[in-house]
Amino acid sequence: MKFNTDLKYPMWIHFKGILLAAIGIIAGLLLVTQTPTWKTFFLYAAGTWGFCRFYYYLFHVMERYLGGGRYTGILDQFRHLSRELRSKRGRQ
């Protein structure tokens, strides 16, 4: 099995999703148990929520509602945004 190819089998895609969720849950639990305060819990929850909404913005809102097209990743999305900003500045 090559490790540098895209996942094509649904079982492996679901497995990867479960592993990513487990990483997030374990990291959160370790952080909260290290310093068990409401402030730590709130900051971890707010940071997680914020990054989830940012991801939604990048890969759903930009593609569906702003007509940006498909992107291969976050860096590709940032390149598109910077090109768009430069072209708008050039028109002014």
pLDDT at 71: 66
Q: Give residue-wise pLDDT tens across range 29-71.
A: 999 899 999 999 999 999 999 999 988 887 777 777 666 666 6
Which carries the bigger pLDDT value, residue 6 or residue 34?
Answer: 34
Q: At what angle do helices 10-34 and 38-56 cross, to 10 degrees?
A: 150
Q: Write down the domain spans for the chain.
A: 1-36, 51-92
The answer, as to whether pTM is greater than 0.85, is: no
**Max Cα distance, the chain (Å):** 53
pLDDT at 39: 93
Which carries the bigger pLDDT value, residue 3 or residue 40?
Answer: 40
pLDDT band for position 10 (cuts 50, 70, 90): confident
Which two three-digit tokens encode residue 42?
């709130």
Q: Does residue 86 surpass a pLDDT of 60?
A: yes
The angle formed by the CA atoms of residues 74, 76 and 9, to the nearest 5 degrees, is 70
Q: State how far the Cα of 12 lies from the Cα of 41, in Å rounded to an integer.
A: 31
